[in-house]
Amino acid sequence: MTRVSTYLNFMGNTEEAFEFYRSVFGGEFTTLDRMGAIPGMPLTDEDKTKVMHVALPILGCHTLMGTDMLESLGHRLEVGNNVSIAIETDSLEQAKHLLRDLSVGGRDVQELAPAPWGGHYGSVVDQFGVRWMFNVPG
């Protein structure tokens, strides 16, 4: 089933933010994975505890997702990279088509490729500065 979610980036306080959102919207996290789960990633012990991916269903069929950006990996939170539109498609072909079309005049294109969590992942910042993330489940 194709779905669209809002993806939020934070500088180390994703868990705090999502605990707050859970207190507002209710419900339970459907996913809460830590950075330490990524094999071979050179992380400090503190960074291993940070949130790699969290998902909280909020209203209707909408899911709020988030991650911690890591200063140790050179990440910086700025207007424009704090919110993304995450699209999960039914097929790799559908994701390729959407990514190709959104890439016209865009930048920071990450072509769809196998992801450590299974499936495929890719992203692009379109010509208007909006970041689009694509996930095709494995």
Does one domain contain both 124 and 58? Answer: no
CB 7 within 8 A of CB 83: yes
- The residue ranking higher by pLDDT, 107 or 24, is 107
Query: Tell me: the pLDDT tens digits for 12-61?
Result: 889 999 998 999 889 999 999 999 998 888 899 999 999 999 999 987 88
For the entire predicted model, the pTM comes to: 0.72
Query: What distances in angstroms separate CA 131 from CA 6, 54, 106, one per listed residue?
Result: 11, 18, 10
Residue 66's H or E segment, with its range, is strand 63-68
Instruction: Name the band, by pLDDT with cuts 50, 70 and 90, for residue 90.
Output: confident
* Cα–Cα distance measured from residue 46 to residue 128, given in angstroms and rounded to the nearest whole number: 35
CATH number of the structural domain spanning residue 122: 3.30.720.110
Q: Which SS3 state, helix, strand or coil, does residue 138 take? A: coil
Does one domain contain both 76 and 37? Answer: yes
Instruction: Give the count of domains, the chain.
Output: 2
Does one domain contain both 11 and 55? Answer: yes
Question: If you search the block for the tokens 């950075």, which residue do you land on?
Answer: 35
Question: If you search the block for the tokens 């699209």, which residue do you land on?
Answer: 87
Does one domain contain both 101 and 84? Answer: no
Question: How is the beta sheet containing 131-136 ordered, strand by strand?
Answer: 31-34, 51-57, 63-68, 3-10, 83-88, 131-136, 120-125, 107-114
Does one domain contain both 20 and 1? Answer: yes
Tokens, residue 18: 């999502």
